[in-house]
């Protein structure tokens, strides 16, 4: 088992982050809208990824869901050289009614040989 103390982990992360940024992917954040749903099924949840680009104009992405489903891989080519931030949206129609269902999605962005995975965005669904 590999154990890392906080300073060693920070050192590793500081070494990896510039390499990823150099490949064209900067900040990557995902949010759920709405983060809490209460109402009739199906619940319509939008997962929104904000992707900051550095240098690259073309990248691929796909979504991973908490139920194990994956979206197809999509390619996005930004034609405006001034555009640095883009948003992509994935909709999930949660059809199964239930209380306190925790659902999440995260996005995987690929640029060249490098791949970055976001933290998951979480939504809580209460539907009947």
What pLDDT shows up at residue 23?
55
The CATH number that applies at residue 120 is 2.60.40.10
Q: Is there a domain that residue 34 lies in? A: yes
Per-residue pLDDT tens over the stretch 31-62: 999 999 999 999 999 999 999 988 777 899 99
Q: Is there a domain that residue 19 lies in? A: no
What pLDDT shows up at residue 11?
35
Query: Domain residues for 63?
Result: 26-127
pTM of the model: 0.79
Q: Is there a domain that residue 94 lies in? A: yes
| Total structural domains within the chain | 1
Q: Is there a domain that residue 12 lies in? A: no
Question: Do residues 69 and 26 touch, judged by C-beta distance below 8 A?
Answer: no
């Amino acid at each position: 088992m590999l154990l890392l103390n906080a300073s060693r982990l920070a050192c590793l992360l500081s070494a990896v982050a510039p390499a990823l940024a150099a490949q064209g992917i900067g900040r990557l954040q995902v949010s759920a809208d709405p983060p809490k749903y209460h109402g009739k099924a199906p619940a319509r949840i939008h997962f929104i990824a904000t992707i900051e680009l550095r240098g690259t104009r073309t990248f691929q992405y796909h979504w991973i869901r908490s139920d194990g489903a994956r979206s197809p891989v999509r390619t996005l080519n930004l034609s405006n050289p001034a555009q640095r931030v883009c948003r992509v949206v994935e909709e999930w129609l949660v059809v199964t009614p239930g209380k306190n269902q925790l659902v999440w999605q995260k996005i995987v962005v690929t640029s060249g040989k490098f791949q970055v995975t976001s933290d998951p965005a979480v939504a809580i669904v209460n539907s009947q």
